[in-house]
Structure 1
Amino acid sequence: MLAAERAAAPATLAAYSRDLEDCSSRLASEGEILETASAALLRCWVGEMTESGFARRTIARRISCIRQFYLFLLRDGRRADNPASQLEAPTPGQTLPKFLTESEVSALLEATGTDEAASPTQQRRLAVGRAALELLYSTGLRISELLGLRRDMFREEARMLMVRGKGGRERLVPLSDAARDAVTTLLEEDRERQSLWLFPGRTPLRALTRQGFDKILAEIGGRAGIDSSRLSPHVLRHSFATHMLAHGADLRVLQMLLGHADISTTQIYTHVQADRLKAVVEAHHPLGDGFSQVEEGSGKMNPTKKL
């Protein structure tokens, strides 16, 4: 059902399988099977995860999975109830997205520049990196969306890109001139590869893997002086969203560009508003830079500028 009706990604299907197997294994130790489990046993399963120190986000995800499983059985007429409907899921702690500064993104792009001393293989890796970084940072694509791009999607003078995201939802994202130029360079570099994919792997019949791209990204990060632990395709997506919002982008527009089904997912990026508000107050309030003397958490201001 998840694959056919919701177009769930393979990684999502694998995660649901693992969660169901974990619950099934726990129930089997009590002589029960998943399809006929009681609400009491499911509460015990949740309690044991809490006592074992599982992360709140993991517990919440597993409860969501089991609820949907029993809801499917209920709608399919295999059960008369949903024993997981009353399970209390912990509220996952909200963590701010990790992102790069604008200067760090610029350094990454500069690191993909032509290197005359590089071998042909290295030159191509730089071309792949340039095209990928330009697309990721200018469109906010997910890595799965990026690696799924086909060559024929980039026709001459194309200004918009049709992307199929999570749940099979389609959206249009604008292409920047820099991204289009980088893609054109890569297409010229790969004209003999005869691949359907914009980013072909070692075998042209298949797209570049996530692991293969991670190696290229880490290599470029090293050239730019950015630690690989701070780099990932999702960090670039977060950087795109954070910088867009910091420069005044509308939250609804950002939601559409990122392909979020719910705007509450996009709202996590509003953390940049705090810095913008502080800058406005410091620039226009009579006390001016006196606000920079506010002690964090105290709420007390120590004005240093005379009226």
Structure 2
Amino acid sequence: MSERHWISAFLEAQAAELGAARNTLLAYGRDLTDFDAWLSNRSLGFAGVTKADVEGYLVHCDAQGLSPATRARRLSAIKQLYRFAFEEGWREDNPAVQIAGPGQGKRLPQTLSEAEVDRLLEAARCSGRNPVERDRNTCLMELLYATGMRVSELVSLPVSAARGDPRMLLISGKGGKERMVPLSAPAREALSAWLKRRDTAEAEKKSKGLPASRHLFPSHGAQGYLTRHRFYLLIKEFAVAGGVAPSKVTPHKLRHAFATHLLANGADLRSIQTLLGHADVATTEIYTHVLEARLSDLVLNHHPLSEKPRRKLPGKISSDGQ
């Protein structure tokens, strides 16, 4: 059995049985193809791999300067491939099962302040070559911040989900799991304005004999909707226009801002977990640490007793008795 067949069969099973998302499948495919290339240079194949071979590959990845997160992801892909091979009867063991992944230091997700988000939203309202693009940009940003959606969920939204001035949006998340998220008044207003523009453009397409799009944010690309990469570039443009450091701004950081700002304003973790579509509340708990870090920083930088050197308080006697 060829290595290519191993990978394709594994990916098909991940998609059909576990409902793995397209981006997850692409990541698995890239990681396993890299492992296959490393094995081929040593005249090895998947069927004959030993634990030592897997460890050697991880050493190779480390020597390439790959981050602990990337190495851990590649090891995970290899483990899952061999678990699948064991279940299919292609192997009698899993050579990677006892290998521990590289240690990863826990990093708090960077987020944006409410003032920075306001500047991004204002920049989106003013960015675009024409009113159509400006309404689309406004809708994209308002929906992203109002719901905390992943960027892939946002750009691929079907237009049917937005009909009828909805108070809630039905979102299809990872693994095909669906969840409902409420819309804020500004988001609903931006959505309504964009739908009018979009429907007018789609009507013109139909009059020319072109097929109508089923997506809320249609595009001429192969997928039929605005790509994640295009939106990534757009949000960088909004950052520049809004006076926010572009290095601080990504679509995922808007998701972090959504969760952190909700928590800061009194929302409970379980509610935020549901809105974000996290399978485990432990994933959501990271935002409590983000909030704690921000509050600590606020005290250290703004409390009068934290100043260095400390100011002499009224009535306090100095060491020289003065």
**TM-score, structure 1 normalization:** 0.85
The structure 2 residue matched to 1:67, chosen from 79, 84, 101, is: 79
Change (3 A) 1:274 1:304: farther
Query: Could you tell me which residue of structure 1 aligns to residue 123 of structure 2?
Result: 111
Deviations 1:40-95 (A, max 9, x none): 21122222322343211111111111000000011112111111001121122222
Q: Is the 8 A contact 1:2 1:8 kept in 2?
A: yes
Deviations 1:74-128 (A, max 9, x none): 111211111100112112222221222111111122223469xx8xx42221111
Q: Distance in 2 between matches of 1:215 and 1:230?
A: 13
Deviations 1:236-277 (A, max 9, x none): 111111111222221121111111112222222222124447
The structure 1 residue matched to 2:256, chosen from 238, 242, 245, is: 238
Q: Is the 8 A contact 2:165 2:192 kept in 1?
A: no
Deviations 1:197-256 (A, max 9, x none): 111114799211223323332333232122333222111111111111222221121111
The structure 1 residue matched to 2:173, chosen from 138, 145, 165, is: 165
- Aligned-pair Cα RMSD in Å: 2.9
5+ unaligned residues in a row in structure 1: which ranges?
283-287, 296-300
- Aligned: 1:187 with 2:195: yes
The secondary structure found in structure 1 opposite 2:170 is: strand
Q: Is the 8 A contact 1:196 1:205 kept in 2?
A: no
Change (3 A) 1:23 1:50: same
1:145-160 equivalence runs, <5 A: 145-160=153-168
Amino acid at match of 2:58: V
Q: Distance in 2 between matches of 1:251 and 1:211?
A: 30
Query: Could you tell me which residue of structure 1 aligns to residue 268 of structure 2?
Result: 250
5+ unaligned residues in a row in structure 2: which ranges?
1-12, 203-212, 317-322
Deviations 1:267-290 (A, max 9, x none): 2222212444787999xxxxx854
The structure 1 residue matched to 2:89, chosen from 77, 80, 83, is: 77
The secondary structure found in structure 2 opposite 1:192 is: helix
Query: Could you tell me which residue of structure 1 aligns to residue 287 of structure 2?
Result: 269
The secondary structure found in structure 1 opposite 2:171 is: strand
Q: Distance in 2 between matches of 1:218 and 1:52?
A: 30
Query: Could you tell me which residue of structure 1 aligns to residue 41 of structure 2?
Result: 29
Q: Distance in 1 between matches of 2:152 and 2:223?
A: 17
Query: Could you tell me which residue of structure 2 aligns to residue 125 of structure 1?
Result: 133
- Aligned: 1:56 with 2:68: yes
Query: Could you tell me which residue of structure 2 aligns to residue 47 of structure 1?
Result: 59
Q: Distance in 2 between matches of 1:62 and 1:265?
A: 21
Change (3 A) 1:35 1:274: same
Change (3 A) 1:279 1:230: closer
Change (3 A) 1:30 1:216: closer
Q: Distance in 2 between matches of 1:249 and 1:198?
A: 29
Q: Distance in 1 between matches of 2:93 and 2:312?
A: 63
Change (3 A) 1:52 1:173: same
Q: CA deviation at 1:142?
A: 0.6
Q: Is the 8 A contact 2:125 2:137 kept in 1?
A: no
The secondary structure found in structure 1 opposite 2:285 is: helix
Q: Distance in 2 between matches of 1:71 and 1:207?
A: 35
Q: Distance in 2 between matches of 1:218 and 1:10?
A: 25
Q: Distance in 2 between matches of 1:61 and 1:203?
A: 29
The secondary structure found in structure 2 opposite 1:112 is: helix
Q: Distance in 1 between matches of 2:315 and 2:254?
A: 43
Q: Distance in 2 between matches of 1:167 and 1:303?
A: 60
Query: Could you tell me which residue of structure 1 aligns to residue 24 of structure 2?
Result: 12
Q: Distance in 2 between matches of 1:9 and 1:167?
A: 6
Q: Is the 8 A contact 1:27 1:33 kept in 2?
A: yes
Query: Could you tell me which residue of structure 1 aligns to residue 226 of structure 2?
Result: 208
The secondary structure found in structure 1 opposite 2:130 is: helix
**Identical positions, percent:** 39
Q: Distance in 2 between matches of 1:197 and 1:206?
A: 7
Query: Could you tell me which residue of structure 2 aligns to residue 285 of structure 1?
Result: none
Query: Could you tell me which residue of structure 2 aligns to residue 298 of structure 1?
Result: none
Change (3 A) 1:302 1:140: same
Q: Distance in 2 between matches of 1:48 and 1:275?
A: 38
250-259 or 268-277, larger mean C-alpha shift:
268-277
